Amino acid sequence: MNKVKIAVLVSGGGTNLQAIIDYAKEGHIPHGELALVLSDKPGAYALTRAAMNDIPTAVVSKKDCASQAEFEEKMIAELEAHGIEMIVLAGFLCILTENFVKRYPERIINVHPSLIPAFCGKGYYGLKVHKAALDYGVKVTGATVHFVNEVPDGGKIILQKSVMIRKDETPESLQAHVMKNAEWIILPRAVEMVAKKIRKGGELEE
Ligand code: GAR
């Protein structure tokens, strides 16, 4: 069986990328292979993590592009050059337009650090999500992995995991808590679920 070639798109530290790398190394992603890590930020530590694991890397910097269309065309050129069939947004903080996402229907997944539909959509990313959850006073939050369509954080949900909010939580402590106890667990699992569905068809199954 040809494994599904997967690109992971990143903007920052890449702890979710690391969780996928570790899960794959343990043999839990038999239907996929990490074929590219693409960053919009040249200095992203996620690129170092990829290089340390012999995964090809590419950088497409938005500020070097005249328009969103040019940015997306350059990314598509990289993805096609590497034969990519599935895309994982793992802390990739740029919005993708309909023009990009419609090329990969049910082939792009994203991890979001809340229980969608709470604290999601335009403007909700990174620490802002956790600050909003604490400001609202919710007692439970978590993470969601979902398919990406043209609506920010609006595609079909694949997996969710909840996390209890502790006393004296700060946005930073909550972010760390949600990553460790939800994101790093459900994202790698969802990667295998979707890769398997791409190769074998049928329903998404854990
Ligand atoms: C993660 O918490 C991820 O859920 C979030 O950015 C962080 C990236 O961390 N993504 C979003 O907020 C998307 N809306 P990482 O680079 O260490 O994986």
| Ligand 1 neighbour 113 (Cβ under 6 A) | yes
Per-residue pLDDT, 206 = 84
Which among 28, 31, 82, 112 is annotated as catalytic?
Answer: 112
Give the nearest ligand 1 atom to 143 CA. Answer: 4
Task: Give the mean pLDDT of 165-179.
Answer: 97
The letter for the amino acid at 151 is V
Average pLDDT along the chain: 97
Mutational pocket test of ligand 1: of 16, 40, 148, the residue with most ligand atoms within 8 Å of the beta carbon: 16
What confidence tens digit (pLDDT) does each residue in 22-76 have?
999 999 999 999 999 999 999 999 999 999 999 999 999 999 999 999 999 999 9
Work out which ligand 1 atom sits closest to the CA atom of 175: 2
90 phi/psi in degrees, rounded to 5: -125, 85
**Helix or strand run (H / E) with residue 7:** strand 4-10
1 CA distance to ligand 1 middle (Å): 32
Please state the atom number of ligand 1 nearest to the C-alpha of residue 44: 16
Full-model pTM? 0.97
Contact present, 44 and 9 (Cβ < 8 Å) = no
Backbone angles phi, psi at 2, to 5 degrees: -75, 130
Question: pLDDT band at residue 137, thresholds of 50, 70 and 90?
Answer: very high
Whether 91 is in the pocket of ligand 1, judged by its Cβ within 6 Å, is: yes
Residue nearest atom 10 of ligand 1, based on CA coordinates: 91
Q: What is the pLDDT of residues 89-101, one digit of tens each?
A: 999 999 899 999 9
**112 annotated active-site:** yes
Q: Are 107 and 87 in contact (CB under 8 A)?
A: yes
Q: How far is the CA of 35 from the centre of ligand 1 (A)?
A: 20
Residue count of the chain? 206
